[in-house]
Structure 1
Amino acid sequence: MNDMASATQSVLVEREIAHPPEKIWRALTQPHLIAEWLMKNDFQPVVGHRFDFSAEWGSVSCEVLEIEAPRSLSYSWGDHELKTVVTWTLAPAGAGTLLRMEQTGFRPDQPRYFHGARSGWPRFLAALEELLARMG
């Protein structure tokens, strides 16, 4: 029998967005744009770059792990307790893009983080879609 106690949980959000991958990529990788839909940050699209997202409730430490413009972006996301990885995948879909966000690595003993991410990411992606519409 498998020991499920060691299994981690993931949050996955997928959206089909009526904008090209290159435009969405800008919103995912330009600090001033990221700040409009996610959080204040000092992101740079460079593997190994360490950066923080900060909000009223605190901050989260991250490091860029992989980057392949305009197809995929991956960074660690955590604090002293949380060690997760956020991966964005962009795939052309008709006239738009299938955008996939997966955050992996939530331990079973971290329900607060997991539920926070599960409720937070759909809101962040809604804000991202609003930003993309304003970008024209």
Structure 2
Amino acid sequence: MSEAETRTVTVEREIAHPAERIWRALTQPQLIAEWLMANDFAPVVGHRFGLNAEWGDLACEVLEVEPGRTLAYTWTGLGLDSVVTWTLTPVAGGTHLRMVQTGFLPEQKLAYHGARAGWPRYLDRLEAVLAALD
């Protein structure tokens, strides 16, 4: 299936924290658990990990790691086979954070709309975790 036949969810924010702090929250398992889901993540290309929530479990694999800049991993479960990519770009006063989840098939309306509603809430929680970091 071509990219034109799939849908993408993109969420972007300017966050008043340095990229290094955001990177910690995106890659340290105990911090990921605070804002996203329980996990056994490691920022190593090829590492397979799980994300576990009350609504289901996801099987994931790290695809790309560029410390402080880019992180990508598969997000597979509940009939969805997608890729989540995080991009961090330093800006005046903090970091521009971009999250893109690709791979929603046209018939996966529930998953697509769930992601559109869910990611902004996850990013709100991420910002709360960042504010509490040393």
TM-score in terms of structure 2 length: 0.95
1:108 alignment counterpart: 106
Structure 2 Cα separation of the partners of residues 57 and 95 of structure 1: 36
Q: Which runs of 5+ in 1 are unaligned?
A: none
Asked if 1:47 is matched to 2:17, the reply is no
Tell me how far 1:95 sits from its aligned partner.
2.1
2:64 alignment counterpart: 66
Equivalence map 1:72-83=2 (5 Å): 72-79=70-77, 81-83=79-81
2:121 alignment counterpart: 123
Runs of 4+ in 1 over 3 A off after TM superposition: none
Structure 2 Cα separation of the partners of residues 12 and 90 of structure 1: 14
Q: How many residues are paired up?
A: 132
Structure 1 Cα separation of the partners of residues 48 and 129 of structure 2: 25
Given candidates 68, 85, 88, the residue that maps to 1:87 is: 85
AA aligned to 2:72 is S
Tell me how far 1:80 sits from its aligned partner.
5.8
AA aligned to 2:107 is D
Structure 1 Cα separation of the partners of residues 74 and 80 of structure 2: 10
RMSD of Structure 2 on Structure 1 (CA): 1.2
Structure index of larger Rg: 1
Q: Which runs of 5+ in 2 are unaligned?
A: none
Structure 2 Cα separation of the partners of residues 76 and 102 of structure 1: 12
AA aligned to 1:28 is L
Tell me how far 1:57 sits from its aligned partner.
1.1
